[in-house]
Chain A
Amino acid sequence: MSSKSPRGHPMRRPVSRTPSWVAPVAVVASLALLVAAFLVIRWYTTPVAPPPLNIDAAQLVVSSITSLPASEFDAVGKGSANNLIKAVSGSLLTGSNGRPEVFYFGAEYCPYCAAERWPIIIALSRFGTFSGLKTTSSSSTDIYANTPTFTFHNATYSSQYIDFAAVETTDREQKPLESPTPAQQALVSQYDTSGSIPFVDFGNRYASSGASYLPDVLSGMTWQAVADSLAQPGSAQSKAILGSANLITATVCRLTADQPAAVCSSSSIQAIEKTLG
């Protein structure tokens, strides 16, 4: 007995021309290709770590970024910086010279620390002088890879207004570099509750955790290129770095009772000081 449709055609189940395994395999293969493409894009877009500058070249860059005219700081104001500085309470933190201390806690591999060192160096250089700063870059295997920066490791700072202490816990390969003293560790535990780095304690009066701008502003740049960009108030680097430097400067001015006046009495610093808690 043969089955026939009402119209006389033999009944037949439709046959799928393509085997059922083809579509899933095609999807998996396409996804594998996409992942491979992503890896290639990542490889091509990751900036190569520029070789560190020699001492003389590094000093030229430091001199360039620490001798910017006051008018440029005023022109930038807060710029594009994100104010992460919060008021904290505690007994005044003083350094080895008995002056209010700015304490930095970070690591060389950390891209956010790399970003934040630029404004820290620029701001504190308005109150004193760094020496022994060397160039380095953040980790090649972390986010915002190879962000150009300096290291506070083996650098010194002198000022008649403030003391500065820094701890770089690891190098850019995340190998141990420096350890905080028990007192410094206590500050980190007390004020850096999020555990983020960089952490900066401004004399136990103010503290910040994290970077005040994103490191991608510095992506692929050399130290000299960053220094050159800071000479232009309208550049993205100026708005981020000098804006952050102004925030730090205003905070330090709070510690020094607005000394030196040449720095702290500027309209932009005074305006930022009013916004600090």
Chain B
Amino acid sequence: MLGLVASLAGLGVSVYLTVVHYSTIALACPANAVVNCEQVLASSFAVIGGSGMPTSAAGIVWFVVSAALAAATWRARGPRLARVQLAWSAIGLVTVVYLVYVEIVLLGAVCIWCSAAHLMVLVIFLVALARLPEDRVAS
């Protein structure tokens, strides 16, 4: 249940950031020496491979799949599904680590909306991790 809620929350954040990217809507975000969403989202790292497609669009895809996996594991428990969910969330977590590296080391600024999405990925990973031994014991 927690994994599904986190997936939907992350999806909401990703959708918001993607809508802001493609529109003239101002991003609701404070700006100071540490937090600066504009600086992060205006950087070359905010788009996928110079394509113009925002990274948050990839976030939408990832959270949709994550929500589907969370819903599936909620309805039907099983070690294979749990492992798939853990693998998927591990991919997300590795990506998050890279993006946090970009924010802190390369840009020197943190985007709080991005951080919210990153936190959701971590929650999803921890849920998947916590579920795995439970399934292993039951099998």
Q: A residues touching B (Cβ–Cβ < 8 Å)?
A: 13-16, 20, 23-24, 27-28, 31, 34-35, 38-39, 41-42, 45-46, 141-143, 145
Complex contact A39–B104 (CB within 8 A): yes
Query: What residue in chain B is nearest A46 (Cβ atoms)?
Result: B108
Query: What residue in chain B is nearest A140 (Cβ atoms)?
Result: B33
**Dominant SS among interface residues on chain B:** helix
| 22 cross-chain CB contacts under 8 A | A13-B137, A14-B137, A16-B137, A20-B130, A23-B129, A23-B130, A27-B129, A28-B122, A31-B97, A31-B122, A35-B104, A38-B100, A38-B105, A41-B104, A41-B105, A42-B104, A141-B108, A142-B36, A142-B39, A142-B109, A143-B108, A143-B109
Residues of A within 8 A of B129 (CB): 23-24, 27
The distance in angstroms between the C-alpha atoms of A38 and B109, with both chains bound, is 12
15 more contacts with CB within 8 A, not counting A14-B137, A20-B133, A38-B104, are A13-B137, A16-B133, A23-B129, A23-B133, A24-B130, A27-B125, A38-B100, A38-B105, A39-B104, A41-B104, A41-B105, A141-B33, A142-B39, A143-B39, A143-B107
The distance in angstroms between the C-alpha atoms of A39 and B126, with both chains bound, is 24
The distance in angstroms between the C-alpha atoms of A103 and B136, with both chains bound, is 69
The distance in angstroms between the C-alpha atoms of A178 and B69, with both chains bound, is 55
Q: How far is the CB of A124 from chain B (nearest CB, A)?
A: 28
Complex contact A24–B97 (CB within 8 A): no
Residues of A within 8 A of B109 (CB): 142-143
Residues of B within 8 A of A41 (CB): 104-105
The distance in angstroms between the C-alpha atoms of A142 and B36, with both chains bound, is 9
Residues of A within 8 A of B130 (CB): 20, 23-24
Residues of B within 8 A of A31 (CB): 97, 122
Complex contact B134–A20 (CB within 8 A): yes
The distance in angstroms between the C-alpha atoms of A27 and B34, with both chains bound, is 25
Query: What residue in chain B is nearest A139 (Cβ atoms)?
Result: B33
Residues of B within 8 A of A39 (CB): 104
Query: What residue in chain B is nearest A13 (Cβ atoms)?
Result: B137
Complex contact B126–A24 (CB within 8 A): yes
Residues of A within 8 A of B125 (CB): 27
Q: How far is the CB of B110 from chain A (nearest CB, A)?
A: 10
B95 interface residue (CB < 8 Å to A): no
The distance in angstroms between the C-alpha atoms of A142 and B27, with both chains bound, is 18
Residues of B within 8 A of A35 (CB): 100, 104
Residues of B within 8 A of A141 (CB): 33, 108
The distance in angstroms between the C-alpha atoms of A31 and B126, with both chains bound, is 12
Query: What residue in chain A is nearest B102 (Cβ atoms)?
Result: A38
Residues of A within 8 A of B126 (CB): 24, 27-28
Q: How far is the CB of B115 from chain A (nearest CB, A)?
A: 11
Q: How far is the CB of A211 from chain B (nearest CB, A)?
A: 13
B74 interface residue (CB < 8 Å to A): no
Q: How far is the CB of A112 from chain B (nearest CB, A)?
A: 10
The distance in angstroms between the C-alpha atoms of A141 and B36, with both chains bound, is 10
Q: How far is the CB of A201 from chain B (nearest CB, A)?
A: 22
Residues of B within 8 A of A45 (CB): 105
The distance in angstroms between the C-alpha atoms of A35 and B103, with both chains bound, is 10
Query: What residue in chain B is nearest A214 (Cβ atoms)?
Result: B44
Q: Which of the residues B43, B108, B136, B137 comes within 8 Å of A42, measured between beta carbons?
A: B108
Residues of A within 8 A of B33 (CB): 141
Q: How far is the CB of A88 from chain B (nearest CB, A)?
A: 21
Q: How far is the CB of A56 from chain B (nearest CB, A)?
A: 33
Residues of A within 8 A of B108 (CB): 42, 46, 141-143, 145
